[in-house]
Amino acid sequence: MTVDTATDTASTTAATKAARRGGRVRDYGIVVALLAIVLALSLSTSTFLSTSNMINLLDQCSVVGLLAAGATICIMSGVFDLTASASLAVSAIIGVQAGRQFGVLAGFAAAVVAGALLGLVTGTVVVRSGVHSFIATLATSIVYRGLAVIVTAGSIVYPLAGSQEDFAMLTWPSIGGLTSATIVFLVVVGAIWVLVSATTFGRRVYAVGGNAEAARLSGIRVGQVRIAAYVVSGICSALAGLILASRAGSAQSSMATGMELSAIAAAVIGGTSILGGEGAIWRGVVGALLLTLIGNGFNLLGWDTTYQQVVQGCLILLAVTVDRYLRKKSR
């Protein structure tokens, strides 16, 4: 073996080790942060570990957790989805309106179908227009919000008086005292996790997000993969909208305004690279739980929630900085 070959081998080995260390930081850094906050809140307040607070915490996380799962799969495929909250509102409104005509369960099904169709439209717009996904989905979200206002005439829509109790079924206690919303959240996130981590589609998502041109040359239909990611995100948005509507007993065009940013923040905090190709559904959900924990901690400790956004912003900046540092070290 020549000196040059030995040097190249050593450099490759060092880069591989650095990449592995970076992967471990992405994988377990978010878990360490979560455990640290749990420990701090457990020691600082006697009510944090109570059963009622744990159930409430998971229930609060269900909406942003679903949106974070959708945001994560989109970002991993190399695109952003800023239509999540607008799709949420439109789907919830359709769910209420369809429920008034055909029954609550049919209304829920209509909302999920509407979310999938909105995701399909969004993905098609992004892929066919060639406009950067950030700008394309920003414009599309404005269109969806406008449609929500037109459909409702700017007013709040309610289920029929006789079906209000059934419409609130997602707030009912379920397995182990958890709300039905939490069960839906856990089941759906589990299904998406399996879809991404154990199927050909998941491998294509990572390939497209990592290098779209290389994926295209290897025979992967990049556009179809990204459209499918938007469809998954749309379904997550619809389910999140149903949970919010079920809690409030109504739906309106201004529902969850700005929540898509919290979802993207959760994905990024969870270690999903904003450049695409890297991330995991479970880490995005843990990121959502971390954000929810911060809000829960502020409430339990009686702190001014004004500073909550400052903490969340610092976490996002830290996550992006760490991601850039790890990428630089792995080269």
pLDDT tier at 6 (50, 70, 90 boundaries)? very low
CA distance 62 to 178: 11
pLDDT tier at 23 (50, 70, 90 boundaries)? low
Residue 23: how many CB atoms within 10 A of its CB? 14
3-state DSSP call for residue 218?
coil
Mean pLDDT, to the nearest integer, of 30-38? 86
Residues 210-248: tens digit of each pLDDT: 999 999 999 999 999 999 999 999 999 999 999 999 999
Q: Are 289 and 93 spatial neighbours (Cβ–Cβ below 8 Å)?
A: no
CA distance 161 to 188: 30
Domain residues of the chain, as ranges? 59-260
pLDDT of residue 25: 59
Q: Is the model's pLDDT at 20 over the cut of 80?
A: no
Report DSSP letters for 9-47, one per residue: HHHHHHHHHHHHHHHHHHHHHHHHHHHHHHHHHHHH-SS
